[in-house]
Amino acid sequence: MDIPREIVANLIRATTDVFETMVLKRIDLIDPAKEIPPRAGSQVAATVGFTGHRCGAVVFHAGADVAREIAGALLAMPAAEVNGEMADAIGEVTNMIAGTLRTRMASLEPAWAIAVPTVTIGSDFVTRYATDAARVLCAFDMEGQGIQVELILNRQ
């Protein structure tokens, strides 16, 4: 199962919108890859599931330092002072990306129902997916640092 092109295009637009409007950082798309590269640097993963007309999840991946920088930018505080706020901030960034994607897709098809975010922080986790799920990973450069947004669509 392939992920429809307009969903990927809207995911990229949604991510760019959230970063440029609220994080106030420019991000540039590196490559929407079908082959999922290893994510050695991913220490923070935030997931927002959705169901309804389509079923799946938006997952945001970043290293801990990048995640702290994003949280600091959102909260208008120095990244070095960010601690407990990081998980919630990355969860909300992911919520905004998934929600904006949902709104954009709602002009083309019935609106999805989206869940509240869950955030995983660690260093050695592997996520496995159902074999019949389709995935696309969009990698972005944020002022020299990497962030990734993944879309998972389950077969229905």
Partner 1 sequence: MRFLIVDDSSTMRRIIINTLNKLGHKDCYEAANGREGLERLAAATVDMIITDWNMPEMTGVEFIRAVRASESTRGLPVLMVTTNAAQDDIVEAMRAGVNNYVVKPFTPDTIREKIESALEG
Binding pattern to partner 1, positions 19-58, x when CB under 8 A?
Answer: --xx------------------------------------
Is 59 a residue that touches partner 1 (CB under 8 A)? Answer: no
> Would you say the C-alpha torsion 6, 7, 9, 10 has a positive or negative sign?
positive
Is 17 a residue that touches partner 1 (CB under 8 A)? Answer: yes
Cα(151)–Cα(59) distance, integer angstroms? 6
Is 126 a residue that touches partner 1 (CB under 8 A)? Answer: no
Is 138 a residue that touches partner 1 (CB under 8 A)? Answer: no
Report residue 121: phi and psi, to 5°: -125, 130
Site for partner 1 (CB under 8 A): which residue of 40, 76, 80, 130? Answer: 76
Residue with token string 């995983």: 120
Residue with token string 């079923």: 55
Is 91 a residue that touches partner 1 (CB under 8 A)? Answer: yes
Cα(12)–Cα(14) distance, integer angstroms? 5
Q: What's the chain's Rg over C-alpha atoms?
A: 15
H or E segment to which residue 66 belongs: helix 64-75
Is 10 a residue that touches partner 1 (CB under 8 A)? Answer: no
Positions that interact with partner 1 (CB under 8 A): 17-18, 21-22, 71, 74-76, 85, 88-89, 91-92, 95-96, 98-100, 102-103, 106-107, 111, 114, 116
